[in-house]
Amino acid sequence: MKLKYFYQQMLAFFAVILTLLVIMGFSFLQFARNTTYGNTEKQLYGYAEALISSGLQQDQLDNGQLVLSNQGVTVSVFSNKDLMIYPKTDKAYSSGLSEQDLKKLAAGKRLSLTVRQKDFYGNDQQMAIVYLPFFTQDNGVFSGFVAVSSPISGIEATLMALRNNLFSAFLFSSLGAFIISLIFAKYQVNRINRLRRATHTVAGGGFDIQLENHGRDEFDDLAGDFNSMVNSLKSSQEEIERQENRRRQFMADAAHEMRTPLTTINGLLEGLEHDMIPEHQKQRSIELMHNETRRLIRLVNENLDYEKIRSNQIILRKQSFNAHEALEMIVEQLSSKAQTANDRLILDCPLDMQIYADYDRFVQIMVNLIQNAIQFTQDGEIKLTGQMKPYESIITIEDSGIGMEAKEVENIWERYYKADVSRKNTLYGESGLGLAIVQQLMNLHEATITVESTPGKGTTFTLVFPFEEDRSAN
């Protein structure tokens, strides 16, 4: 059977409070019973002591019995032979005490309150009786004992009245417990429903909701965890949307970039097929098709490289090699591209500078960064500087290009991002993946790369490659 959490909470609170009330009620009744019988015992002992101290004279016993009879209290005096000597009767009555109890009295011990079902005359009447011994004053010999009794009906009547009052209080307390349980259950369920509504909102795509967190209990801890989850989901959603927008932009750019070389290649092939290209221009046409084909291959390879790096499919083969020779070769390869933009490539690196890296990936990193500098530099210079420090090799690539804003600097490492989408040099750097690949490769090298840029003045990339462990240890 399905029972709503509200009713579960209400019944749980009610059961706890009701159990507490029952335990307290029984405890109170037991305490009241013990107190009542204890007070009765003390009172009866007081009557017996007063009679013994007065000498147990006949007239005093009569007066005392007369006074006590109004309270239903009966006084009986027994000799040391356990024979009733007061009140005087035609028949000899005994107390009915056991030999053991009589020995206790003879030893001067009092007998605490006991309950008898019959009085000393054999009548059916529940009595509460105390026994107190008395002794002769001159030699202290045990002379007998006084029995003071009170009917149980009076004590039970007091207890019954107390039980009735307690039962009435229990009924009212149960009603109060039910109301309190209802309030507590509603309060707890409202907190759960608040979380439930917030969860439905998040499930519907609303990530701006936040729950109050007062830090008082587990529900507030849960609210804090929920807020953290929502913030994380919101950030993830924003990142997904940002990446999706860039992916769409990349697909549009890639389609545009691939359409141009494909159109060129197709046009040249048709010209060659129909013999529409003059003989002296055929070799040039073939070169153009080679260039456009390499351009398409570069677009595909950059995407493949990025995915391989992200999925840890690339294994670095790091070694120490001469950085000056590697950089000199790269400068020579990219000089023609730099000349196209009227840029100058300047290399300032010690001839014996060593660097510890994967040679092929190092060349890929430097080519991407230099091509990026060429892309955003016109009629300027791009300077490559190398230096060695005790535990690392440092290379800087400084250009005098258009530079970037601080917000652009933060995003340049992200996939498909282009710092200046209005400038698309289709000869290189067209995919928006070059710098993302650079960062991933630097991470694989356990190296660092930082960038500083000023709009209108240029950009500087700083690459720090640590030495191999054995060399740094030396």
Same topology between domain 5-159 and domain 218-307: no
- Are 398 and 374 in contact by the 8 Å Cβ rule? The answer is no
Q: Give the global pTM.
A: 0.44
User: What does DSSP say about strands 318-322 and 84-86: parallel, antiparallel, or unpaired?
Assistant: unpaired
Q: How many CA atoms lie within 13 A of 462 on its CB side?
A: 8
Q: Can you tell me the mean pLDDT for 68-79?
A: 87
Report DSSP letters for 186-223, one per residue.
HHHHHHHHHHHHHHHHHHTT---------SSSHHHHHH
pLDDT tens, 8-61?
777 787 788 888 888 888 888 888 888 888 888 898 889 888 888 888 888 888
The encoded tokens of residue 105 equal: 């009295």
Q: Can you tell me the mean pLDDT for 89-104?
A: 87
pLDDT tens, 267-325?
888 888 888 888 888 888 888 888 778 767 766 776 666 666 666 667 788 999 999 99
How many angstroms separate the CA atoms of 265 and 287, rounded? 10
Q: Can you tell me the mean pLDDT for 358-362?
A: 89
The encoded tokens of residue 32 equal: 């009241």
How many angstroms separate the CA atoms of 371 and 285, rounded? 26
Q: Can you tell me the mean pLDDT for 251-260?
A: 69
The encoded tokens of residue 5 equal: 């959490």
Alpha helices in 274-358 (DSSP H): 279-310, 323-340
pLDDT top residue among 195 and 421? 195
Report which DSSP code applies to 412.
T
Rounded percentage of the chain residues whose pLDDT exceeds 70: 89
Q: What are phi and psi of 429, to 5 degrees?
A: 70, 20
Residue 356: predicted pLDDT: 94
Whether the pLDDT of residue 420 is over 60: the answer is no
User: What does DSSP say about strands 344-348 and 381-389: parallel, antiparallel, or unpaired?
Assistant: parallel
Q: Can you tell me the mean pLDDT for 369-389?
A: 91
How many angstroms separate the CA atoms of 261 and 87, rounded? 137
- Range with the poorest average pLDDT among 280-294, 333-347, 355-369: 280-294
Architecture of domain 218-307: Orthogonal Bundle (1.10)
pLDDT top residue among 214 and 331? 331
Structural domain spans, the chain:
5-159, 218-307, 317-473
Contacts 24+ apart (CB under 8 A), 36-44: 36/155, 36/158, 36/159, 37/113, 37/128, 37/155, 40/113, 40/128, 40/150, 40/155, 41/112, 41/113, 41/128, 41/130, 44/73, 44/113, 44/128, 44/129, 44/130, 44/148, 44/149, 44/150
pLDDT tens, 126-147?
888 999 999 987 788 888 999 9
Residue 421: predicted pLDDT: 46
Please state which of the four CATH numbers 3.40.630.30, 3.30.450.20, 3.30.1330.200, 3.40.47.10 is assigned to the domain occupying 5-159. 3.30.450.20
Instruction: For domain 317-473, say whether CATH 3.30.565.10 is its number.
Output: yes
pLDDT tens, 53-73?
888 888 888 888 888 888 888
Q: Left if phi > 0, otherwise alpha if psi is -120 to 50, otherwise beta: which for 94?
A: beta
